[in-house]
Structure 1
């Protein structure tokens, strides 16, 4: 595992150039990673992870953002602040002056948060936005069981530092009021950021994402259905462990890497 310690991982300029060329002809990042892995003779020889490659490509995109783009965006938000005195926006730039992280929330969203802040949810799986960066809607549920947006962030990279920046500024926008529970899709960097910035909050995983991952990894709709039912049922910890063990044995997946990983991380 030594090659995959953070200190030993790096994406070379040659790999970045090749990946960039492939991306320009609409090859997805996962396919690029598979190609580079095959070229290197296997995953253990490539020298970096999928997320390392993604972040390296994002750094290249950030350099392409010109001052005019940033100025236009900030000018728009300045206009919004005049139109809505309760509009909140803040952003950061990198050493070259390129837009780094950004978060905003209007007065209605901030008022909603005061009333419905018990549980908030994050999802950075949306990539179709400003220069392909992850967009992170921060949402909740109101008394009509409707989804409401508390704030929206655009981040440079999916790192603990970026997530911490978002959480700190989100709390600043919401008068330092912390949520009771936070729901995410399981990103480890986000998990570390939550523990750092909102240590009192209970962290929970999104059941929908887990069910999707179960189907993607196991590939058996019957397992996914039984697993999902097990996951959302009202069990004590001991009852859940018994039921989990029963489901795993029933479908003969006790040695599957995804099942082992989920079993080991069921307690956040």
Structure 2
């Protein structure tokens, strides 16, 4: 077994004592469980350069033997290996964010497994215009509290550095969390999500008209000057607004033609229905005729006097229940 110097043993003894008695209030708040305390001790001893077996032997000696430790030598070894692997991965993310974290894109459109839990990724661009990952998180839901916790944790992981610009999709809860956690950041919407929503909504009800999507894409990608963009967007809006209005007018004219050409079918040729068929359009007349036919099943019951009545609509079989409203 590797020998340990008296200075190293004294240092470990001091760490073990601090682990239980001499920790400041700030450290106590950070160490919320026994596992956190053990991790603190293992990492501190490892940082001091004490070997794996020697550190474990001394830790066992402090508690009266290895059987009194809640972890084994293999557990200590696995923990330190996992820690170093995390530091290697996270270290690159922290370095990338320090250099390229002024502009961040956060996307939660990814879904995982059958439960479709949101998987959020913080990404950006480096000086080669290549995508770099600043962080990721598997979330339970997409509520304000979840986003707030995630953004605060992201800041802690990156030493409190705030992004200057952050792009996301159009999510109300996320937007509120960004306003609270990143108050100085400019919040914009990703062009990808805008394009997807445009293709989804503008393609509905266009009656084969495809130029609206090309015009919209031109406004998004071809005009960088603000004045030029506003001018072209206004032209596009007026052009397609007039097209939609004209389409509705054509539909109205077609309905007017059909109402004059096709007479409504009347089963009960009562004076009221005959008069209504001449005044109302076919669709309004059908609604009126239904109400009229329903009123034929109404029965009335006189109350005290002759000026008030109760009306009930139901079957003539059995007693009718009259309820005053």
- Structure 2 length-normalised TM: 0.46
* Structure 1 gap segments, 5+ residues each: 1-76, 88-104, 257-268
Where in structure 2 are the equivalents of 1:4-43 lying within 5 Å?
none
Q: Secondary structure at the match of 2:213?
A: helix
Is 1:164–2:148 an aligned residue pair? yes
Q: Secondary structure at the match of 2:105?
A: strand
Is 1:151–2:135 an aligned residue pair? yes
More RCO (CA 8 Å, sep 6+): 1
Q: Secondary structure at the match of 2:219?
A: helix
Using the TM superposition, name which of 203-212 and 77-86 deviates more. 77-86
Distance 1:253 1:141 in 2: 41
Distance 1:163 1:174 in 2: 17
What is the aligned-residue RMSD (CA, Å)? 2.6
In 2 relative to 1, CA 155–207 (structure 1 residues): closer, same or farther, beyond 3 Å?
same
Map of 2:187 onto structure 1 = 203
How far is 1:130 from its partner?
A: 8.3
- Structure 1 length-normalised TM: 0.55
How far is 1:228 from its partner?
A: 2.0
Q: Secondary structure at the match of 1:152?
A: strand
Map of 1:102 onto structure 2 = none
* Structure 2 gap segments, 5+ residues each: 1-77, 204-208, 246-325
In 2 relative to 1, CA 177–130 (structure 1 residues): closer, same or farther, beyond 3 Å?
farther
Is 1:235–2:236 an aligned residue pair? no
Is 1:137–2:127 an aligned residue pair? no
Q: Secondary structure at the match of 2:134?
A: strand
Distance 1:215 1:253 in 2: 20
How far is 1:235 from its partner?
A: 2.7
In 2 relative to 1, CA 217–115 (structure 1 residues): closer, same or farther, beyond 3 Å?
same
Consecutive aligned runs of 4 or more in structure 1 exceeding 4 Å deviation? 77-81, 253-256
Distance 2:228 2:124 in 1: 29
